[in-house]
Amino acid sequence: MTIARVRPAIFFSLLALLVAGALIVPHVANRGVVFLSGVVAINVVFGIAFNLAFAKAGILSFGNAMFFAVGAYCAGYLITQQNHLPFVVILLAAAGCGGLLALVTGLLALRRASGVYFAVITLAVGALVHVLIMKLNFLGRNDGLVGVNRPIIDLGLVELDLARGDAYYYFIIASCALLVTLMWVLWSNRFGRSLQGVKSDPMRASFLGIDIDRKRLIALVLSGSITALAGAIYAPWAQIVTPELAHWSFSTMPLLFTLLGGSAFFLGPAVGAILFGLLDYATRSLIGISDLLVGGLLLAVVLSVPGGVLGLLGSLLARVRAPSSPRREGRA
């Protein structure tokens, strides 16, 4: 799989376009659409964080839901039980918990398994985390944590009350844009290129002195930390955190976003998350068959377009440009 490169000007232009579109939503749509838009923005981070490890380091994880859930539960618990803590500290704590869980999972699995075997191990660890969450009283057991209020950020001279109006929605968009930019830097810089080398030719990378296991572990920890941060941002938005967030089926979501949009493209999972959100909204009234219809449509797209939507667009553009090249050469 060839990883497509995006110039900084193109990336920031596309990101600005997406952010501008998201900021317009509260002014033109109802509250349900605004809530869904916030979820989609969080899913964009969720998907790209998964693809950072998947496309760059070749790590197929079926346990990313546990990172998301750990971040959401950490933020939900600290907000409901330790509400004197600054929200920034809560977010950092959630990211640290996700990174620690990813570190333990990586140390347990990366040195002993790879590929499908690693995916199975992450699935097993995720199932264990799911069971633990449902058994712990202080996490609400099967009922989860309720009443996760949207916080107030104290900046010293100014306080930002994120519970007022659409303030938290704008906070989600700004936070997700910053996280996407951070991941793009990791994707595009020397670290990202070294990860690609580890995935493409691990034997040659090892011969050049690159510690393959260490690189993969770092990629997994970064993915887990950012995913947990997305979960922490989600908790006050939904105002409830339930064990379903840690269920193995939720781990398929970032993989689905990635395959739908195109794993070879940095913004592929973002496109997949947006398309999935649109499909989910369009079929919301089809009670009983909504999941079946959405799943069937997505399965058809993934099977018919292996490179994802962006891969299909790239192929169409290449076909449009191909016939014009010989003509120009002949005229010259």
Return the closest-CA partner of residue 260 out of 272, 276, 275. Answer: 272
pLDDT tens by residue, the chain, 332 residues: 566 667 888 899 999 999 999 999 999 999 999 999 999 999 999 999 999 999 888 888 888 999 999 999 999 999 998 778 899 999 999 999 999 999 999 988 876 656 678 888 899 999 999 999 999 999 999 899 998 999 988 777 778 889 898 999 999 999 999 999 999 999 988 888 888 887 877 777 777 777 788 888 999 999 999 999 999 999 999 999 999 999 988 988 999 899 889 988 999 999 999 999 998 888 877 776 767 776 777 777 777 877 888 888 888 887 887 765 455 444 43
- Between CA 154 and CA 164 the distance in angstroms is 15
Q: Which one, of 7, 11, 39, lies nearest residue 267 by Cα?
A: 11
CA distance 75 to 232: 5
The verdict on residue 175 lying in a domain is yes
Q: Enumerate residues 6+ apart whose C-beta is below 8 A from 132.
A: none
The whole-angstrom separation of Cα 178 and Cα 44 is: 12
- Cα separation, 55 vs 65, in Å, equals 18
Nearest-5° angle of CA 178, CA 181, CA 183?
110
Residues 6+ apart with CB under 8 A from 91: 75, 229, 232, 233
Q: Which long-range CB contacts under 8 A does 200-209 form with residues at least 24 apart? A: none
Is residue 289 a part of any domain in this protein? no
Coil vs helix vs strand at 146: strand
d(CA 64, CA 54): 11
Residue 304 belongs to a domain? no
Is residue 150, in this structure, part of any structural domain at all? yes
In a domain, 211, yes or no: yes
Per DSSP, the three-state class of 10 is helix
Q: Does residue 236 sit within a domain?
A: yes
Domain count within the chain: 1
Domain assignment of residue 208, yes or no: yes
**CA 37 from chain center: how many Å?**
15
Which two tokens mark 212? 């393959």
- Residue 317 belongs to some domain of the structure: no
Burial of 158 (0-12, 13-18, 19+ CB in 10 A): exposed
Is the distance from CB of 146 to CB of 76 less than 8 angstroms?
Answer: no
Gyration radius of the chain's alpha carbons: 21
The partner residues of 154 in beta bridges, in order of sequence, read: 159
Other C-beta atoms lying within 10 Å of the C-beta of residue 250? 18
Please state, in angstroms and rounded to a whole number, the distance separating the CA atoms of residues 259 and 50.
11
> Domain of 95?
8-253
The pLDDT, as a whole number, for residue 213 is 82
What are the two backbone dihedrals, phi and then psi, of residue 177, each rounded to the nearest 5 degrees?
-65, -40
